[in-house]
Structure 1
């Protein structure tokens, strides 16, 4: 039986509707954790005010602007960037682990909550954290190059978390196996990855123009919507892997 993108989209939509409440709660919970971790690690307001001191509008590039900063300003900028990156990494790992446990449990007709799904994923989280970090790093480096390599790497590594959770291949073994399997099914994976990227960009652009909500509330809602889009992608990729393997 041939696998079509249309049937995968229908399966994804059906599962998403059936588990809507659990997935929404998981998206909100992981978003809240992301914002809390980021807020806890971000330098305080007094330190952040250093970034505005002596800033030059004449800098022609970000690199030049960073060069013109004092060592204290560079340190604050580095800590702020690291805090946001680490918080996103924690939130994404919890969401991914929870979804990878929710899907098989719900498919076997078990009642499962968002907290139970994330708790069940606890033994998997350290490996998943390392793998998510490596994939994020490689994909971001690809985006910084010419953009296209980033998309290709995102496609090739897209099945790695599912393989890590189901086949016990290890972090690097699942990355290698995902590259081979994803390349053979690139026509089914590439459109889903592109839609995911476009949806994330659209959400970010929408919230960049929205100033009515408080900053923390806006951050939670923004991350939650992004998590819902990512959850849809995980369901799609999980279903695809179950069919092609």
Structure 2
């Protein structure tokens, strides 16, 4: 059976509409958790803004991010490092809850078991250690790839995109899930590339839009941006799960 990208998009949108309330609730809760965790672990967020938003940096437009960081004092660099570590940690935990909760819900619904969001998260508990390890490894690899020349990061995101779905649906370990994902992805690049590229472009556009929310408080802005980011990721996960189901039938 020939799988078309257009039909996958339609299936994704149909599932999103049918489960709109549950998905939106999960998106908001994980975004709120991410923001709350970041602000709890790093209450000096406003201090970071004041430290880095200095006049000589605001007036500098022709330098790279690396050059901007080099201009910071040791105190500012330490504050920035602490904020970066906490942002990565809280984002990772939030992402695990989003990916696990959504995929668990999709898996149960696909098996004709119509359960609530909390029940889906509860069923996820036995798989959490493997899912946490998988997301940590793949996130690290993708980010390292993006730091190199961007293209390796996108390639790795495509190669391992199906791994979380394989853990949830087939109950495999981390390494087997990554290997199986790489094998399937290598034979279905035409179906994965459009979705992954859309995901990257949407997240980049969201990052660029973040400067337009300066009239809101930092807390509200963080929740809003995290919610939109989670919504984009949710659409991708639905698309990937539907693709994996169809590939399994072929």
Q: Fold match, TM over 0.5?
A: yes
CA positional deviation for 1:29 = 0.5
Q: 1:2 & 1:61 partners in 2: Cα distance?
A: 46
Which shows bigger deviation, 101-110 or 6-15? 101-110
Q: Secondary structure at the match of 1:135?
A: helix
Which ranges of structure 1 fall in alignment gaps of 5 or more residues? none
CA positional deviation for 1:66 = 4.2
Q: 2:54 & 2:151 partners in 1: Cα distance?
A: 37
| Coordinate RMSD, CA, aligned | 2.3
Q: 1:165 & 1:68 partners in 2: Cα distance?
A: 46
Which shows bigger deviation, 157-166 or 121-130? 121-130
* Counterpart position of 1:25: 25
Q: 1:206 & 1:52 partners in 2: Cα distance?
A: 20
Residues 210 and 51 of structure 1, relative CA distance in 2, 3 Å threshold: closer
Q: 1:163 & 1:45 partners in 2: Cα distance?
A: 38
Q: 2:111 & 2:201 partners in 1: Cα distance?
A: 32
Residues 208 and 23 of structure 1, relative CA distance in 2, 3 Å threshold: same
TM-score, length-scaled by structure 2: 0.88
* Counterpart position of 2:118: 115
Which ranges of structure 2 fall in alignment gaps of 5 or more residues? none
After TM superposition, the structure 1 = structure 2 runs for residues 88-127 of structure 1, keeping only pairs within 5 Å, are 88-127=91-130
- Please tell me whether residue 226 in structure 1 is matched to residue 225 in structure 2: no
* Counterpart position of 1:169: 172
Q: Secondary structure at the match of 1:209?
A: helix
Which shows bigger deviation, 222-231 or 25-34? 222-231
Residues 55 and 80 of structure 1, relative CA distance in 2, 3 Å threshold: farther
TM-score, length-scaled by structure 1: 0.90
Q: What are the Cα deviations for residues 180-210 of structure 1, in whole angstroms up to 9, with x where unaligned?
A: 1111000000001011111122222223212
Residues 160 and 222 of structure 1, relative CA distance in 2, 3 Å threshold: same
Q: Secondary structure at the match of 2:213?
A: coil
CA positional deviation for 1:111 = 3.4
Residues 55 and 131 of structure 1, relative CA distance in 2, 3 Å threshold: farther
Q: What are the Cα deviations for residues 10-51 of structure 1, in whole angstroms up to 9, with x where unaligned?
A: 111111110000000000000011001111122526863784
* Counterpart position of 1:11: 11
Residues 216 and 151 of structure 1, relative CA distance in 2, 3 Å threshold: same
After TM superposition, the structure 1 = structure 2 runs for residues 159-238 of structure 1, keeping only pairs within 5 Å, are 159-238=162-241
- Please tell me whether residue 135 in structure 1 is matched to residue 141 in structure 2: no
- Please tell me whether residue 73 in structure 1 is matched to residue 61 in structure 2: no
